[in-house]
Amino acid sequence: MDSRTSFEDFYSIESAFSSSSRRSNFSVQSKASGGNSIREVNFGDLGTKPVRYGSHGADSETYSISMSQKEINDEDARLVQINDPVQTNERFEFSGNSIRTGKYSILTFLPRNLFEQFHRVAYIYFLLIAVLNQLPQLAVFGRGASILPLAFVLLVTAVKDAYEDYRRHRSDRIENNRLASVLVDDQFQEKKWKNIQVGEIIKIYANETIPCDMVLLSTSDPTGVAYVQTINLDGESNLKTRYAKQETLMKIPENDKVIGLIKCEKPNRNIYGFQANMEVDGKQLSLGPSNIILRGCELKNTAWAVGVAVYAGRETKAMLNSSGAPSKRSRLETHMNLEIIFLSLFLIALCTVVSICAAVWLRRHRKQLDYLPFYRRKEFSDGEEENYNYYGWGLEICFTFLMSVIVFQIMIPISLYISMELVRVGQAYFMIRDTQMYDESSNSRFQCRALNINEDLGQIKYVFSDKTGTLTENKMEFQCASIWGVDYSGGNAISLDQNDGYFVKVDGKVLRPKMKVRTDPELLQFARNRKETQEGSHVYDFFLALAACNTIVPLIVDTPDPTVKLIDYQGESPDEQALVYAAASYGFMLIERTSGHIVIDIQGERQRFNVFGLHEFDSDRKRMSVILGFPDRSVKVFVKGADTSIFSVIDRSMDMKVIRTTEAHLHSYSSLGLRTLVVGMRELSTSEFKQWHSTFEAASTALIGRASLLRKVANNIENNLHILGASGIEDKLQQGVPEAIESLRTAGIKVWVLTGDKQETAISIGYSSKLLTSKMTQIIINSKSMESCRKSLEDAIIMSKKPTTTSAISGTTNNTGGTSGAGSTPIALIMDGTSLVYILDSELEERLFQLSCNCSVVLCCRVAPLQKAGIVSLVKKRTADMTLAIGDGANDVSMIQMADVGVGISGQEGRQAVMASDFAMGQFRFLVPLLLVHGHWNYQRMGYMILYNFYRNAVFVLVLFWYVLFTSFTLTTAITEWSSVLYSVIYTALPTIVVGILDKDLSRRTLLKYPQLYRAGQNQECYNKKLFWITMIDTFWQSAVAFFIPLLAYWGSTIDTSSIGDLWTLAVVILVNLHLAMDVNRWNWLTHAAIWGSIIATFICVMVIDALPFLVGYWAIFEIAKTGLFWLCLLAIIVAALIPRFVVKALYQLYAPCDVQIAREAEKFRTLCESGAVEIEMNSILEVPRR
């Protein structure tokens, strides 16, 4: 599975060879290494490890060989005595099988949870301020008031964590108490999962979940095959085959005691690798990943399986792999941090001003301080004169500074972090709920796996896309074949229901393949005629090869009609499935597969073929082969593989014409965008077979260097082949892909396609997906050396800078692009993996980047997984632009994690890409609503919210600051401490969150109609330094108005502190909420409720606070609200404070409108005349009718 996924796009063909069968450990080693290479990236080593992106798969291959050669040292091994848990656990104390995913117990909850919460810097700042406030000299707020906000946030988070943990505990309990039958005293008895120990023998029945990682001993199948479904582990729903060793197969644990020792690796998280030796009856056996079944998998299609537990509980691979989603930080937040630093400096400046003024004041009044009625330094209470609460003016200044930090603490908007998280949760909720991003075919909703980069979706400049499974459906369909030099591709003309497909009758029951394939009538005729003609015999061999040379497992499935059964081909490679279905349609139906033989129904006649050996696909050979023993005792080897790999091993002396025509056909197939495979065959002589057989046996049981030995064996047998033919498989384009790419390109997003396919296939898919157009000039770079690479890059750069010249061609290029000349011709850059080997990680990277800047399309073919990540990092390192990678397979994992935003397609290829991604969805075309609509909204909302929150807190702090200047710099606050605390919690918190979640500057329609509007995010229009400073100037003005109007109006009057404090509180809250209201783009009832509700809530809160007789300001609000002056002040403040903002906003919107603004106006005033056109366009992208 791993190899296929990791190298799937490496060369288009390879995927056809990968398979689940692990009979020979030959391939398994390479697969394990494939898995390793992904894992390396997966676990975040990219930053620290010098990974060479340019390298081919060869590196990992050699690595895997060395892996297999490595003997397991005793120190690195775990020794498991089969069926002797007591002795096994005596020395090592392996962990039991009970699992604990819960983080806390009742005792550890409080300390651990607090510890985890305080990992956030913001909370530590909060805490420091609260602690400072506890010092009696610095106590600005009452102790309760200063602790309250922190306590509240901590409590909410703690309750949330506790609830989540409770759910985990509950599921743990259910899991731990499940029952499994375990061999105790030579009898299988029910035992709870948590009591299972390493070394015990466990019997699993069909459809049961496997309780721990176990080495298979025997199964109900006489050949020792067991099928498992790994959906819980990696999300792949197809069945995988696992094998018990021949030596243990016949033992029945109840009767004859199995005694043995398994020496295996220490527990690790590589689910695709396993290394062990088993000693049974004095024989050394080696075990690989195909001999182990893992916790969480389900046994399918097998009546029972017996195994010995080797890893249990938290040491199982499933548990070791259960790690959370990767965390990324949003670009906006990174930018925001700079502004936070500005604000901190500003805070320090305010505090410094206050302390300096206080110092001056103290110095000037130093002679009077003792008796100053409002200072009274002297205290006489104990009879003797002493200084009361005075520590010398140096220290007093220090205290003043710290106190002002406490008073002005909300200058740093701590609440912003909490609001941002809430807003992101809300945005994620809407993204998940969007019906237009729901994929009906896979029944999957949009998934938000990373919660903190929502707004990055609105700033994407580069999209890196995988091809197979992302642009295309990865549902392979057999289209045409070239057999013995004859092209059969006429199948499309014939309708499917002509014959109702091919079927066989067995015991009166009809058996037919689950999927129907269009057939070519002529070819069908040949297939039916068997070996009567020469063509017939070639066709026979060809289809036999397709049916036999694979690792597909046929499954018989019942249908509602009892007389009809369907045969379902389970396999990991969609290409192989397509080929087997095709073979079945032509009358070569694979019925049964066991480890020793296969049964193929050929034109209604069942034939059994012995399978002597199978050399699985590996990325080095790029082919696979099977050695079949025919009923007539002849032995043939069938090979299928990539064209290059097969043509290098065919017998060139024969059939030159056939080879040439096949090559021509291959070229035309790949130009049509088909994936091609070549099939070859050779008959083995008895001596040849015997020689092969002995070396194969020796190699597959070798303990050291098994992989390389098996490869050698395979290379020896796979030569001098006759060519049989080639097949063309269509990988259909997903719905709406061309429109989606068009939209993204209009939006100013550069789309790069990175694929493992052949160049011709890639280009043709490029045309069909409208990535490439005939207007484009193509630059093609296929170089075989560093020097030629450099030269072609330089030529290309020169060419790309002179758009009018004819397109220069380098390497093996051919100019298919039109040279229209006029204006700037868009340029498409096409290059292959071999060139990338020379470019990545060398000084040529810079050149490539320059070149790609001038290109509107970049298409990379034959790219290895790590090269994909390399290309992403090439762009990411050199620009500040946001990158997004989208892919569906394990080969895209490295790219997904490298990019700023990783999107996984939950498609055919398992869930590894989804697991590594930040967002997951069902179809490529959902990228359009995701970026253009949700991304735009999220960015605009978040950008505004951050600015607003800065403003909101700064206004309040500045009002406090102004007042301090009139209290002889002693940090008295007229606004009650409760209002200060509630300000960012109740008074102003909700509106910004509601607006941050719900406000929309433009409707979905407009955004989709004018993808160009997306550039607002790319150009950082909603949050930038200029806006920050403008906001800060506005803040300054507003705070001054809010403070000085009451000050001047009440100067020299009887006003008391509490009353004017209430006036300031209300003025600031109303001001801040109206400021928000002024910027709201869309008023729905929730916005109304939040904004007006907050103002009302503030009034209520202020009244409640003033109704408490033990507070200083008792009844103040009611007294002051009786006066007309109060209301006049309030009105004057609000109007005078907002006028400048209103004027600037109006001028800007009317005379320097941004695109968003014009679109908003158009939306409002011109909806009627254009709505029809929008409808059509929308449909084409979003509501492509289902087929």
Partner 1 sequence: MDTNGATTSSAAGGGSTSKSSSKKHSRKPVYSRFTQQELPACKPILTPGLVIATFTIIGIIFIPLGLVSLSASEKVVEIVDRYDESCVPSDYSNDKLKFIQNPSINKSCVRTLTVPKLMKSPVFIYYQLDNYYQNHRRYVKSRSDKQLRSVSDEKSTKDCSPEDKTVDGPIVPCGLVAWSLFNDTYGFSVNSKTIEVNKHDIAWKSDKEHKFGSNVYPKNFQSGGLIGGAKLNSSVPLSKQEDLMVWMRTAALPTFRKLYGKIEQDLQANEKIQVVIQNNYNTYSFSGKKKLVLSTTSWIGGKNDFLGIAYIIVGGLCLFLAVCFILLYVIKPRPLGDPSYLSWNRSPAGHPN
Question: Which residues belong to the active site?
Answer: 466
Question: Which residue, 210 or 437, has its beta carbon nearer to partner 1?
Answer: 437
862 is in an annotated binding site: yes
Q: For residue 174, what are the contacts with CB-CB under 8 A and spacing of at least 6? A: none
Least gap, CB of 1152 to partner 1 (angstroms)? 10
Shortest Cβ distance from residue 472 to partner 1 (Å)? 23
Is 48 assigned a ligand-binding role in the annotation? no
Please identify which residue in 151, 398, 1086, 1178 interacts with partner 1, judged by CB under 8 A.
1086
Closest contact distance (angstroms) between CB of 373 and partner 1 is 4
Residues 86-105 binding partner 1 (CB under 8 A) are none
The reply to whether 878 sits in an annotated binding site is no
- Tell whether residue 892 is among the known ligand binding residues: yes
- Residues 294 and 308: their CA atoms lie apart, in Å, by 11
- The CB-of-819 to partner 1 minimum distance in angstroms stands at 19
Sole binder of partner 1 in the list 105, 207, 344, 389 (CB under 8 A): 389
Check whether 888 is labelled as a binding-site residue. Answer: yes
Question: Whole-angstrom Cα distance, residue 216 to residue 247?
Answer: 11
Determine if 1049 is a binding residue for partner 1 (CB under 8 A).
yes
Candidate list 47, 74, 374, 394; residue touching partner 1; CB under 8 A: 374
Which of 63, 109, 118, 375 is in the footprint of partner 1 by CB under 8 A?
375
Q: Which of residues 733-762 bind partner 1 (CB under 8 A)?
A: 745-746, 748, 750
**Ordered alpha helix ranges (H), 864-1014:** 865-878, 893-898, 912-916, 927-928, 936-964, 977-982, 989-998, 1004-1009
Q: Is 180 or 779 the residue whose CB approaches partner 1 more closely?
A: 779
CB of residue 413 to partner 1, shortest distance in Å:
18
Which residues ranging from 433 to 472 are in contact with partner 1 (CB under 8 A)? 433-435, 438, 440, 443-445
Amino acid of residue 279:
E
In the window 567-586, what residues touch partner 1 (CB under 8 A)? none
Nearest to 516 by CA among 478, 572, 559: 478
Whole-number Å distance between alpha carbons of 945 and 990? 12
Asked if residue 514 lies in contact with residue 565, where contact means CB atoms within 8 angstroms, the answer is no
| Helix 521-528 vs helix 534-548: crossing angle, to nearest 10 | 90
Question: In which residue are the tokens 């819960």 written?
Answer: 102
Among residues 187, 368, 634, 644, the one that binds partner 1 under rule CB under 8 A: 368
What is d(CA 273, CA 191) in angstroms, rounded to the nearest whole number? 29
Q: Is residue 466 marked as binding?
A: yes
Is 9 in a helix, a strand, or coil? coil
Pick out residues in 417-436 that bind partner 1 (CB under 8 A): 422, 425-426, 429-430, 432-435
Alpha carbon distances (Å) from 374 to 368, 371, 608, 1016:
11, 8, 107, 57
Q: How many whole angstroms from its chain centre is CA 924? A: 14
Burial class (CB in 10 A: 0-12, 13-18, 19+), 773: middle
Residues between 978 and 1037 with contacts to partner 1, criterion CB under 8 A: 990, 993-994, 997-998, 1000, 1004, 1010, 1012, 1015
Tell me the CB-side half-sphere exposure of residue 724, using CA atoms within 13 A: 27
For residue 1023, the minimal CB distance to partner 1 (Å) is 19
Q: Which positions from 810 through 849 interact with partner 1, judged by CB under 8 A?
A: 823, 826
- Structure token digits, residue 29: 């080693």
**Could you tell me the two tokens for 781?**
């770079």
Residue 1160, H or E segment: helix 1155-1165
Q: Is residue 467 annotated as involved in ligand binding?
A: yes
Q: Residue 468, annotated ligand binder?
A: yes
Rounded CA-CA distance 107/109 in Å is 6
Give CA–CA dist 540/189, Å, rounded.
52
Task: Kindly identify the residues of this chain, within the stretch 1052-1081, that bind partner 1 according to CB under 8 A.
Answer: 1052-1061, 1080-1081
Output the smallest distance, CB 895 to partner 1, in A.
23
Positions 845 through 884 that interact with partner 1 (CB under 8 A): 856
As a whole number of angstroms, the distance between CA 1178 and CA 905 comes to: 22
In the complex, the smallest distance separating the C-beta of residue 174 from partner 1, rounded to whole angstroms, is 22
To partner 1, the closest distance from the beta carbon of 774 in angstroms equals 16
Sole binder of partner 1 in the list 115, 205, 388, 1036 (CB under 8 A): 388
Identify residue 1070 by its one-letter amino acid code.
Answer: I
Residue among 194 and 1004 whose Cβ is closer to partner 1: 1004
Q: Is 346 annotated as a binding residue?
A: no
3-state secondary structure 360-397: HHHHHCCCCCCCCCCCCCEECCCCCCEECCCCCHHHHH
Nearer Cβ to partner 1 (481/1071)? 1071
Q: Which among 900, 1142, 902, 889 is positioned nearest to 1034, based on CA atoms?
A: 1142
Binding to partner 1 (CB under 8 A): which residues in 953-972? 966-968, 970-972
Least distance from partner 1 to the Cβ atom of residue 384, Å: 10
Closer Cβ to partner 1, 158 or 578, answer by number: 158
Q: Where are the alpha helices (DSSP H) in 70-212?
A: 85-92, 109-117, 121-134, 143-176
Residue (321 or 436) nearer to partner 1, CB: 436
Please report how close the Cβ of residue 465 comes to partner 1 at its closest, in angstroms.
16
Instruction: Answer yes or no: is 1163 a known binding residue.
Output: no
Sheet with 597-602: strands ordered across = 486-488, 472-483, 722-733, 674-684, 635-641, 623-629, 605-615, 597-602, 588-593
CA distance linking residue 582 with residue 730, whole number of Å:
12
Residues 1108-1167 that bind partner 1 (CB under 8 A): 1109-1112, 1114-1115, 1118-1119, 1123-1125, 1128-1129, 1131-1132, 1135-1136, 1139, 1142-1143, 1145-1146, 1149-1151, 1153, 1155, 1158-1166
Pairing of strands 187-192, 179-184: antiparallel
Count of residues of this chain found to bind partner 1 when the rule CB under 8 A is applied: 116
* Residue 672 vs 1049, nearer CB to partner 1: 1049
* CB nearer partner 1, residue 603 or residue 1018: 1018
Closer by beta carbon to partner 1, 352 or else 389: 389
Does 507 belong to an annotated binding site? no
Rounded CA-CA distance 505/510 in Å is 5
Euclidean distance between CA atoms 838 and 820, whole angstroms: 32
Shorter beta-carbon distance to partner 1: residue 611 or 959: 959
Considering Cα of 941, then 942, then 947, then 948, what sign does the dihedral take? positive
| 606 labeled part of a ligand binding site | no
Please, which residue, 7 or 1043, has the CB nearer to partner 1? 1043
- Count of Cβ atoms closer than 10 Å to residue 144 Cβ: 11
100 is in an annotated binding site: no
- Cβ proximity to partner 1: between 404 and 662 the closer is 404
Could you tell me the smallest distance in angstroms from the CB atom of residue 1016 to partner 1?
A: 10
Q: Binding to partner 1 (CB under 8 A): which residues in 929-948? A: 937
Q: Do 991 and 1088 form a contact (C-beta atoms < 8 A)? A: no
Task: Looking at residues 683 to 712 of the shown chain, list those that interact with partner 1 (rule: CB under 8 A).
Answer: none
Distance separating alpha carbons of residues 859 and 773, to the nearest angstrom: 13
Confirm or reject binding of residue 258 to partner 1 (CB under 8 A): no
Tokens of residue 204, six digits? 């699993």
- Structure tokens given for 1064: 């300031």
Determine whether the annotation assigns residue 755 to a binding site.
yes
Our finding on whether 348 is near partner 1 (CB under 8 A) is no
878 and 770 Cβ atoms separated by less than 8 Å: no
Q: How remote is the C-alpha of 653 from its chain's centroid?
A: 51
Q: Binding site for ATP: what residues are annotated?
A: 466-468, 576, 617, 640, 675, 755-757, 862, 868, 891-892
Q: Binding site: what residues are annotated?
A: 466-468, 576, 617, 640, 675, 755-757, 862, 868, 888, 891-892
Q: Binding site for Mg(2+): what residues are annotated?
A: 466, 468, 888, 892
